[in-house]
Each structure stands twice: as structure tokens, then as C-alpha cells.
Amino acid sequence: MSDADSRTIVITGVTRGLGRALVEKFTALGHTVIGCGRKFEAVEAVRRALDPDPYLSIVDVLDAESVQAWALDVQDRFGSPDFLINNAGIAHAGVPFWELAKADFDAVIDINVKGPANVMRAFLPGMIARGSGIVVNLSSGVGRFAVEHYAAYVASKYAVEGLSKAVAKDLPAGLACIPLSPGVVDTDMLRDHWGEERSGQEASPAAWAEVAAPYILGLTAADNGESLRISPGA
């Protein structure tokens, strides 16, 4: 890959599932990959597994000051990213809303909504100053329709959709903010919350990334504000 074709890609939540699969695929394709995760051991495991090493940092997306410091470091080393992918997120146990503990509700809303907001707030000024860049906020099918027993998760993904579309309205020409549903993938989150039987029917994260990575790289400013979806089995 020539330098002209290489892209600088920032991804949150890189230690497992879709985030790790994207890091592995984008690195294999020769792009400059920058990522973050919350736990040192998990981040180091990803770093050691890949060659060349992606530039990974220990960052909690809920800590706005840490996110800001990370963004400044990244932009100083690599410039503003071509793609900013907000992947970090969590779910919760499948229970009726009134049985869901407040702490669990708050954690899902905080990480899934405030996390991407913190990251966009830190990186967008540099992307706007450069005049280009694509923000991809990982949403979900349940950000567009409701399911039972997952009230906080559904609410958080509806919020990701709305936040992305609102940010898209604010962006100048040349940039885009896109809510992207990954489709259903056989991740730890799927197994934890929807069961082993469902997980065995879906694409693995690695198989998903084979489709998702080129799809994301093909997004342009013309996609700004569009609710898009990847179909890994297509």
C-alpha cells in the first residue's frame, strides 16, 4: 500500500469483539491504527499479537480529561484521523426495566452515549480544522427498533443514532458523522446477553471485519447523517 492510500484510523474499545477484529484487519491492510482500551493487560495482549504494532493507549472514554489528553497526543504524533470509530460499549442483563439496577442502567447510558460524545468532542476540532474526516459511531439494530428486557441498551443505541444525526447537522462540508449498525455478530456480548444458541448462528468478529473494514473505508462525506448497516452474511 502506498502512503497515499494509507489511512489513519482511531478506534475505541479495541481489546475484544468488533474493536479488536477491526484493529487486526486494518493493521493487516497496512493502515495506521490507533486505539484505546480501559485495561492495561488486555491492551498489551492486543499490541503483542499484532505486527506492526498498532499505537494503543489506556483510556477510559468516560474520563473526558484523559480522552482529551489522548486526542492531543494522537494528533501530535499522527495528525487528525481520517476515520474515528466509536466502538466501545457495554450491554446489561436481560431483565424487565423495573428490575434493572440503577447502577447498571447508568453504566450502559454513560459508556454507550457519553463515551462517544467525549471522544468526538476531543477529536472533531482537529478534523474540522483539516477539513475532512469520517466519524463512525457503532449503533445497533435495537437503536432503530425496541426489544424486550434491554431497556437501557436500547435507549443508549437510540441515543447514539440521534446524537450522530445531530452532530452530522453541525458538521461543515467535507466531514461526516454516521451511525452504523454492525448487524448481528458472534461476540462475547451476544453470548452473554442472548445465549450460546444465538451466537452459533452468526458471523465471527473476524469474518465480520472482512466485510466491515472495506465498507467503512468506503464511507465518504456524502454519507453524513445516514443510518447505515453492515450485513456480515451478505
| CATH code, 199 | 3.40.50.720
Q: Is residue 129 part of a domain?
A: yes
Whether residue 153 lies in the annotated active site: yes
Q: Is residue 233 part of a domain?
A: no
Rounded (10°) CA dihedral 101, 105, 106, 109: 170
Q: Is residue 2 part of a domain?
A: no
* pLDDT (tens place) for every residue of the chain, 234 residues total: 666 689 999 999 999 999 999 999 999 999 999 999 999 999 999 999 987 779 999 999 999 999 999 999 999 999 999 999 999 999 999 999 999 999 999 999 999 999 999 999 999 999 999 999 999 999 998 889 999 999 999 999 999 999 999 999 999 999 999 999 998 886 555 555 555 555 455 689 999 999 999 999 999 999 999 999 997 654
Q: Is residue 184 part of a domain?
A: yes
Of 44, 25, 39, 155, the residue nearest 85 (C-alpha): 25
Q: Is residue 234 part of a domain?
A: no
> What is the total count of domains within the chain?
1
Q: Is residue 206 part of a domain?
A: yes
Q: Is residue 90 part of a domain?
A: yes
Amino acid at 135: V
Q: Name the catalytic one among 150, 153, 158, 215.
A: 153
Contact 118, 61 (CB under 8 A): yes
Q: Is residue 101 part of a domain?
A: yes
In which domain, by residue range, is 144 found? 8-228
